[in-house]
């Protein structure tokens, strides 16, 4: 029997049958290397890129260890952002769906504190959250960790980048010393080594190769003289490739803001994602980009962690990343699931040291290519195919995606294939509509009812 089969791990039968129903037959490299040690109770450090399957690795270990009849917090997963926490919780629930009565609770900043206290009072087995909010609950005594037997730090490098080390230390201090600890990180700087030495016991190190096949990602490098030429190069590449979805990575918040506003001025459908955004604006930005209502997302590395985007045509590095492994992490967002991807990187003479480091890391000589012809600037700017409509009603109002689809496609409504992604959050719902049908869709939602009630609706622009 193949040693890459989940059935070789001795998992609970209900976990195996659920994995089969999900089509999870073969383990990914990080799962094959880490799961035997995770299941045996050892501390594990896993280094791998986004999309390597690390969530299923620690999720399966967690569910194997869980005692459902003990209604106490037994596992805690810490994530750098609310988006990643939501994504992780969703994956754990999917893995756990064959085991009845498992309660997974998400606790993140940017959400009201009171309802979270109420949810904690009802109890949970697994908590997934951001360090700041988890620490707040621990300090206030609303989250009790004395029964914790598994602590997971997911994307630990970004949590440290975002200044969460004091919160992590405080949470660990309130956790039992005899717990199992798992740490996952895309990169492994000295700070990660130091924190692992403090909070882990004889951890096993698992590292999965981060380099991508040239067949799936086509990398291109372009040399520019100054910032003016850099912006022009960015425009040329966007107008040449006409990507439906493209992330432009910047090294600082200031650069992200300047680049995004410049592209907007040139008529590109552009959104920005960085640490200065309010949570609601951040949520809207991610929804609109994921549902194809905007073509370009200009983001910093910290803000872009945990992005759950199905298919990205192109990644453009406005500057070369400060760390070579971060470069690999960035470009790994395109060319996923066997599809082809394009990664373009801009660099100047002053960035020669970063290019040299990247050459060593990639084990290849970086040769600057010629940018598209200036005539490309006359190409029309691509417009997104979808437009997002916001409904001021969500899960708390018992609104479901099916309710919204039914309201849109009912009597004298629009066709089902004119409706894109539907996202229902706690207080709001978002639906993507084909541009040609959005006026009819808006009228249907504005004049109609959901759950027997009228809700305020608006088209999100800008």
pLDDT confidence tier of residue 308, bands split at 50, 70 and 90: low
Average pLDDT over residues 174-194: 88
Mean pLDDT of 181-192: 84
Distance separating alpha carbons of residues 214 and 18, to the nearest angstrom: 34
What whole-number distance in Å separates Cα of residue 243 and Cα of residue 224?
22
Please check whether the two domains, 6-207 and 217-378, share a CATH topology.
yes
Q: What's the mean per-residue pLDDT of the chain?
A: 88
Q: Tell me the mean pLDDT in the region 389-406.
A: 90
The CATH architecture that domain 386-459 belongs to is 2-Layer Sandwich (3.30)
- Give per-residue pLDDT as tens, 57-98: 999 999 999 999 999 999 999 998 887 898 899 999 999 999
- The CATH superfamily holding the domain 217-378 is P-loop containing nucleotide triphosphate hydrolases (3.40.50.300)
**Residue 32 vs residue 214, higher pLDDT:** 32
Q: Would the pLDDT of 20 be above 60?
A: yes
pLDDT digits (tens, 9 = 90+) for 333-365: 776 545 678 999 999 999 989 999 999 888 889
- For the segment 247-274, the average pLDDT, to the nearest whole number, is 94
| pLDDT band with cut points at 50, 70 and 90 for residue 311 | low
CATH fold label, 6-207:
Rossmann fold (3.40.50)
**Per-domain boundaries in the chain:** 6-207, 217-378, 386-459
């Amino acid at each position: 029997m193949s040693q890459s089969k989940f059935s070789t791990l001795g998992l609970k039968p209900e976990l195996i049958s659920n994995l089969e129903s999900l089509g999870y037959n073969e383990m990914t490299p990080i799962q094959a290397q880490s799961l035997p040690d995770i299941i045996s109770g050892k501390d594990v450090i896993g280094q791998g890129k986004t999309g390597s399957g690390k969530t299923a690795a620690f999720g399966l270990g967690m569910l194997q260890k869980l005692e459902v009849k003990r209604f106490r917090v037994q596992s805690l997963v810490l994530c750098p952002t609310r988006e990643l926490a939501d994504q992780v919780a969703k994956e754990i629930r999917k893995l756990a769906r064959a085991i009845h009565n498992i309660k997974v609770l998400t606790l993140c900043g940017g959400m009201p504190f009171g309802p979270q206290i109420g949810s904690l009072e009802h109890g949970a087995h697994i908590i997934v959250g951001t360090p700041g909010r988890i620490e707040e609950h621990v300090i206030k005594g609303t989250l009790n960790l004395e029964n914790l037997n598994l602590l997971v730090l997911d994307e630990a490098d970004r949590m440290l980048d975002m200044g969460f080390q004091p919160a992590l230390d405080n949470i660990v201090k309130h956790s039992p010393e005899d717990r199992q600890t798992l740490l996952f990180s895309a990169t492994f700087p000295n700070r990660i080594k130091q924190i692992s030495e403090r909070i882990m016991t004889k951890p096993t190190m698992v590292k999965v190769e981060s380099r991508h096949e040239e067949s799936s990602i086509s990398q291109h490098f372009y040399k520019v003289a100054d910032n003016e030429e850099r912006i022009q190069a960015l425009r040329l590449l966007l107008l040449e490739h006409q990507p439906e979805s493209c992330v432009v990575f910047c090294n600082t918040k200031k650069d992200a803001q300047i680049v995004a506003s410049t592209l907007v001025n040139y008529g590109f459908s552009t959104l920005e994602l960085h640490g200065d955004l309010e949570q609601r604006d951040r949520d809207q930005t991610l929804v609109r980009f994921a549902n194809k209502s905007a073509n370009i997302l200009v983001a910093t590395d910290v803000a872009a962690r945990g992005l759950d985007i199905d298919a990205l045509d192109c990644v453009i590095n406005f500057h070369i990343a400060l760390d070579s492994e971060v470069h690999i992490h960035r470009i790994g967002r395109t060319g996923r699931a066997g599809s082809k991807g394009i990664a373009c990187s801009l660099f100047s003479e002053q960035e020669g040291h970063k290019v040299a480091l990247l050459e060593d890391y990639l084990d290849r000589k970086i040769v600057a290519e010629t940018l598209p012809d200036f005539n490309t600037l006359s190409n029309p700017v691509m417009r997104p195919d979808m437009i997002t409509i916001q409904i001021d009603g969500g899960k708390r109002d018992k609104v479901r995606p099916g309710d919204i689809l039914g309201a849109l496609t009912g009597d004298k409504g629009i066709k089902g294939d004119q409706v894109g992604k539907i996202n229902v959050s706690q207080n709001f719902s978002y639906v993507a509509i084909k541009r040609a049908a959005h006026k009819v869709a808006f009228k249907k939602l504005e004049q109609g009812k959901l759950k027997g009630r009228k809700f305020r609706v608006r088209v999100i622009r800008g």
